[in-house]
Structure 1
Amino acid sequence: MSAPLSRPSYAAVLRVPRARSTFAAALVGRLAYGVVSLSLLLATVRATGSYAVAGTVMALFGASTVLLLPLRASLVDRYGPRRALAPMAVLYAALLSVLAAVTWRPGTPAVVLGAVTALTGACAPPLGPTMRMVWGELVHDRRLLQRAYSLDGVAEELLYVSGPVFVGVLIRFASPSAGLLLSAALIAAGTCAFVASPVVGGLRGSSGRRQQGKSPARQRGLLQPVLVAAGAGLTLSAVDLLVTAFAERHGYGGDTVAWMLAALSAGSAVGGLLNGAIDWRTPARVRLPWQAAGLGLTVCAAGLAPGPWTLTAALACAGAFVAPALTTAYLIADETAAPGARTRAGAWINTAVNAGSSCGAVTAGLLLSHASLGVCFAAAGGAALVSAAGAVVGARGTAVAAVEAEPVPEAALEAESGRSGA
């Protein structure tokens, strides 16, 4: 499972033995997460007739999915992908089917919906973090791994954009609950194909092995990418709400909002591909604060946009820093993690992005009622700038911790004790 020796490129990533089939299977399963959110929202509204209940159900689903993600990822590290992911996928698909059944017709009590939804989210298999761990096993060249992570990040972004499109087509012919069944089928089929790959099936967990990775140096090393990921999530979720408010205040419709946010996603995809194609000489820990700062500054500048076209251009520029920052964060997490904790380390980045996203939406909503749009955009960009500053401090602390944790050479110890070879 070693990387090819050719010049690092996206084509070289896909030429790695078993990479295309394994990656394709993971993407099929991960498409389920692009489909499930809108399907669950629409199905709950249809079943209860209440947006308040739907909002609560979505909050429960998001909380159980995100907050328990590191725990589920640790099960993958401990028992291996095949033994851990397959049972999770079966449970998750079964519970999604139950959700589809109870939302197919109106009348299901909100308490039942909330309980089933929370339990469903708790079983969601961590396919994204596991696939990134598998990339680390497939690709041993760090330059090629950067391209693999960039490709993975851009593909994931496209899945979350295309998922709602599939739901929109589906509900023209069926109940929104059918989207939950589609999500169940995708997660079951994708996960089964993923764990059936010889690459994934050959990976063993860390059960019975000595656990590493809890040293202070490793913990500090993970703090930097987690901080930037949380800042990026907060900034991006705030921007989503601020763009909607901008369109309403300037008399534009939802189609304009869609194009603006599409520009953000397109900029992220282009930025991710360019970032992966560059043969960086600067270490990842040095690049990460600059990428976070670029996101923060461009979002602050977006608040000065006088109209929708200038705002769209500003958002495209801001998006160009999103995928590079997250890709770099995943690279650092992979470098920091002990061999038996790589899936969990990547999961912490996911958790940080989603936790920041939840906080950003709430904060932006509160700010909008007390401040101008320009101030709100500046506050949203400021979150990324603060994370960039924290990343600089974190990088310095990690370097100091690494030096302190570095073992003293045996020859030096012998010289101090008078037992050097003479």
Structure 2
Amino acid sequence: MESTVTTEPSKTSPASSRPGYGQLLRTRGVWTFLLPGFAARQPFAMLTISIVLLVQHTTGSYGAAGAAAAVTGVSMALFAPYSGRLADRYGQRTVLIPGVLVHTLAGLTLTALALADAPLWALFAAAVPTGASVPQVGPMVRARWGVKLQDSPLMTTAAAFESVTDELTFVVGPLLATALCTAVDPAAGLVTEAALTLVGGLLFAAQKSTQPSVTVDGHARVRHASALRVPGVRVLIVTFLGIGSVFGGMQVSLAAFTESIGEPGLNGVLYGVFAAGNMLSGIACGAIAWKIAPQRRLVLGYVALALAASGLWAAHSVLVLAGLGLLVGMSIAPALITGYTLVENLVPAGARTEAFTWLTGAVALGQAAAVTVAGQLEDRFWDGAGFLVPMGGTLIALATLLALRSRLSARPRSRTVARGVGHRVPVTVD
């Protein structure tokens, strides 16, 4: 027996009024998943930096810390799409509850091993299930928006709102993790991350009324085509890998820079400035009535990101680094928002959670690779050498995007897709 998704009509008013955050947040029922969703996704922003700070404290090596964090990120990137596909097929709650329990146990095990000075291979062994079980709450929230706002002009606003929410967690998360690890105990960041995952994840899973409905459909099993088969999704994955290289490269490099000047507490502040730029830019993106096609917006935003990231390695003062970090953050939001918006046009509704997790996983994989390379550069070369990673990652992704940008234009489909939800003709959102 195969499951099907049933959708409900948009609860928003017609598009006669200009789409905006006020109208979006007045959509009936959204607060029931937004508030627990925010709590459940907060740990995602704490995980990498908490591992880096704990393992660096116990081993004295940024290379070892970056490698442990990278194993976590790679595991998440590999397992997240599979988790998303299972959520599309069997329901979010069915996938989320066991994932939350496994992640909490694995995170606490990793913490205990690090404090016990376990060998690096043991940390890697614990990092695999820790990363593989990271709850994919962000993609699940985006899928719930898709159900609430099907065919609504508010989808671009919802994508911007989700980007802002993500970046708010990346303002609060690193600051909280750094404060806990430096002022309380090196293990406090990971312990808090595990506790928030458990409580927030279970509260989100309890919101059954807003998750995409799953019902039985006849007697035959319908084959679900993977979102990865959509050419535009593959281009977006490369694009998001470059964004992940910025997150990972900056996390390690900012930590190394602030320690080299004797002010480790500034790490969270500088990363917070970077994330705040992303958040403010995201707010602006959602409030603008765009006249530029999303494919072109993505290219323009990525050019700005690559240019800003290319200057990080040359910064040698806190103020200059904060200014450049702000610009980099402001350049990321347009790319993220536009990428998620394009998914709505490129991917059938029955595969969108999987598509969103591919993009989230791409960010995590890019971050993992960047953390590893940046950690090695910081250990072997000069302070700030890790900032070469965001530059290299964004330039490679930009070249790919420019070469393959035509694949981001969806073609109308008249056939019925899996789960009985037709794929609508893409419409450029102004």
TM-score bin (small chain): 0.7 to 0.9
Query: In 1, distance between residues paired with 2:116 and 2:65?
Result: 13
Structure 1 window deviating more from structure 2 (126-135 vs 153-162): it is 153-162
Query: In 2, distance between residues paired with 1:238 and 1:341?
Result: 31
Q: Give the 3-state SS of the residue equivalent to 2:274 in structure 1.
A: helix
Asked whether the equivalents of residues 93 and 184 of structure 1 are also in contact (C-alpha less than 8 Å), the reply is: yes
The reply on whether 1:4 has 2:15 as its aligned counterpart is no
Asked whether the equivalents of residues 206 and 340 of structure 1 are also in contact (C-alpha less than 8 Å), the reply is: no
The reply on whether 1:264 has 2:264 as its aligned counterpart is no
Query: In 2, distance between residues paired with 1:105 and 1:214?
Result: 41
* 2:426 matched residue in structure 1: none
Query: In 1, distance between residues paired with 2:53 and 2:307?
Result: 36
Q: Give the 3-state SS of the residue equivalent to 1:402 in structure 2.
A: coil
Q: From 222, 226, 230, give the equivalent of 1:219.
A: 230
* 1:33 matched residue in structure 2: 44
Which structure 1 segments of 5+ residues have no match?
408-422
Q: Give per-residue Cα distances to partners, 1:144-203, cap 9 Å, x unaligned.
A: 222222222222222233234434555689655555443333223222222222433452
* Aligned amino acid, residue 93 of structure 1: T
- For normalisation by structure 1, the TM-score amounts to 0.79
Asked whether the equivalents of residues 194 and 200 of structure 1 are also in contact (C-alpha less than 8 Å), the reply is: no
Offset at residue 223 of structure 1 (A): 2.2
Query: In 2, distance between residues paired with 1:245 and 1:261?
Result: 12
Q: Give per-residue Cα distances to partners, 1:225-258, cap 9 Å, x unaligned.
A: 2222112222443455566677789x68445655
Offset at residue 292 of structure 1 (A): 0.5
Structure 1 window deviating more from structure 2 (88-97 vs 21-30): it is 88-97
Q: Give per-residue Cα distances to partners, 1:283-305, cap 9 Å, x unaligned.
A: 21221111101111223355666
* 2:104 matched residue in structure 1: 93
* 1:333 matched residue in structure 2: 343
Q: Give the 3-state SS of the residue equivalent to 1:68 in structure 2.
A: helix
Structure 1 pair 206–327 and aligned structure 2 pair: CA distance change class (3 A): farther
* 1:58 matched residue in structure 2: 69
Q: Give the 3-state SS of the residue equivalent to 2:19 in structure 1.
A: coil
The structure with more helix, counted as a fraction of residues: 1
Matches within 5 A, 1:109-258: 112-167=122-177, 170=180, 176-177=186-187, 179-201=189-211, 203-204=213-214, 210-214=222-226, 219-240=230-251, 253-254=263-264, 258=268
Which structure 2 segments of 5+ residues have no match?
1-7, 416-430
Asked whether the equivalents of residues 13 and 148 of structure 1 are also in contact (C-alpha less than 8 Å), the reply is: yes
Q: Give the 3-state SS of the residue equivalent to 1:320 in structure 2.
A: helix
Offset at residue 271 of structure 1 (A): 0.7
Query: % of aligned pairs identical?
Result: 26
The reply on whether 1:22 has 2:33 as its aligned counterpart is yes
Query: In 1, distance between residues paired with 2:382 and 2:65?
Result: 30
Asked whether the equivalents of residues 284 and 332 of structure 1 are also in contact (C-alpha less than 8 Å), the reply is: yes
Query: In 2, distance between residues paired with 1:292 and 1:267?
Result: 15
Q: Which has the larger radius of gyration?
A: 1
* 1:402 matched residue in structure 2: 411
Offset at residue 349 of structure 1 (A): 0.9
Offset at residue 386 of structure 1 (A): 4.1
Query: In 2, distance between residues paired with 1:294 and 1:8?
Result: 26
Structure 1 pair 406–301 and aligned structure 2 pair: CA distance change class (3 A): farther
Query: In 2, distance between residues paired with 1:49 and 1:308?
Result: 27
Aligned pairs, how many?
401
Structure 1 window deviating more from structure 2 (69-78 vs 292-301): it is 292-301
Aligned Cα root-mean-square deviation (Å)? 3.9
Offset at residue 374 of structure 1 (A): 11
Asked whether the equivalents of residues 231 and 387 of structure 1 are also in contact (C-alpha less than 8 Å), the reply is: yes
* Aligned amino acid, residue 291 of structure 2: R
Structure 1 window deviating more from structure 2 (148-157 vs 180-189): it is 180-189
